[in-house]
């Protein structure tokens, strides 16, 4: 399969949340293509170990992989990341704003807990896109901005409202970003929303050491992402070993139907509507 022009040997990719999970799997895939990689994550042993893993598969050797300790919730860190990547390798072709946290939340949690989740998951992506995009556009080269969202930001299930709010914001922001880019004359940079399914990563492990049968690996997720980018998809809606594309579509349509039909919010989990929802997906 041919790749998007931005995913070419010699080009530069910056990946936040690159020390594990989907970010690390993407870094390895890009490195194997001969791209130069800048891994951004919180500093420490995990980031150093990730650099070693990516260097082991790099098509351009150890000098083609750098680490920049970064807290994406801090705008100054994101600006320093962009400057470091440009200083090391020149023009950046791919930015994958992937860093995220999911410590759990409830409506009445301390505001500081909510702020940390929103600062990392939403503001990290907003700043990552806004800091990198201007020079990517000005370079005149093909570029990709890939922002990691979540199905929880679309169907907003009960149980983790701060995470849902942050990821709903990522969806809205990335849609607006792509609209802006596609209407900018001469712009060769496109934005894409990665919407993973159930992926076995440190974020979702919850103490488990073995991958559940229902989950995809990060590598399977990146495989799907690469195919979707090649196809020109904006919404990279990933299935997994338990949930099909058809079931995702029904869940998303039901969530939108709450507004259209003026049902109670989150009616999928409401006692007056839950059986109707189950019947609506019984054939998928």
CA dihedral defined by 45, 50, 53, 55, rounded to 10 degrees? -110
Greatest distance between any 2 Cα atoms in the chain: 60
The catalytic residue positions are 163
Q: What SS3 string covers 156-201? A: CCCCCHHHHHHHHHHHHHHHHHHHHHHCCCCCCEEEEEEECCCECC
Q: Which residues contact 31 (CB under 8 A, 6 or more apart)?
A: 37, 54, 55, 57, 58, 59, 60, 64, 65
Tell me if residue 68 falls in helix, strand or coil.
strand
**59 SS3 class:** coil
């Amino acid at each position: 399969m041919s790749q998007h022009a931005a995913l070419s040997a010699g080009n530069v990719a910056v990946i936040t949340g690159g020390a594990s999970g989907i970010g690390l799997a993407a870094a390895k895939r890009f490195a194997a293509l001969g791209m130069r990689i800048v891994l951004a994550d919180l500093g420490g042993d995990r980031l150093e170990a990730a650099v070693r893993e990516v260097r082991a598969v790099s098509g351009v050797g150890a000098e083609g992989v750098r680490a920049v300790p970064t807290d994406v919730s801090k705008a100054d860190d994101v600006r320093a990341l962009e400057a470091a990547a440009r200083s090391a390798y020149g023009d950046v072709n791919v930015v994958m704003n992937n860093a995220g946290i999911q410590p759990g939340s409830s409506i009445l949690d301390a505001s500081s807990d909510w702020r940390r989740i929103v600062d990392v998951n939403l503001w990290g992506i907003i700043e990552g896109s806004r800091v990198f995009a201007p020079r990517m556009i000005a370079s005149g080269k093909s570029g990709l901005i890939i922002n990691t969202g979540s199905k929880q930001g679309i169907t907003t299930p009960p149980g983790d409202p701060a995470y849902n709010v942050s990821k709903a914001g990522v969806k809205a922001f990335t849609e607006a970003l792509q609209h802006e880019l596609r209407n900018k004359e001469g712009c060769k940079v496109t934005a894409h929303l990665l919407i993973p399914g159930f992926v076995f990563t440190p974020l979702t492990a919850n103490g488990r050491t073995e991958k559940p049968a229902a989950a995809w690996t990060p590598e399977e997720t990146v495989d799907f992402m690469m195919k979707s980018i090649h196809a020109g998809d904006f919404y990279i809606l990933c299935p997994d070993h338990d949930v099909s594309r058809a079931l995702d579509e029904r869940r998303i349509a039901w969530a939108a139907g709450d507004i259209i039909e003026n049902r109670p919010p989150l009616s999928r989990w409401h006692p007056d509507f839950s059986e109707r929802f189950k019947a609506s997906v019984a054939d998928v």
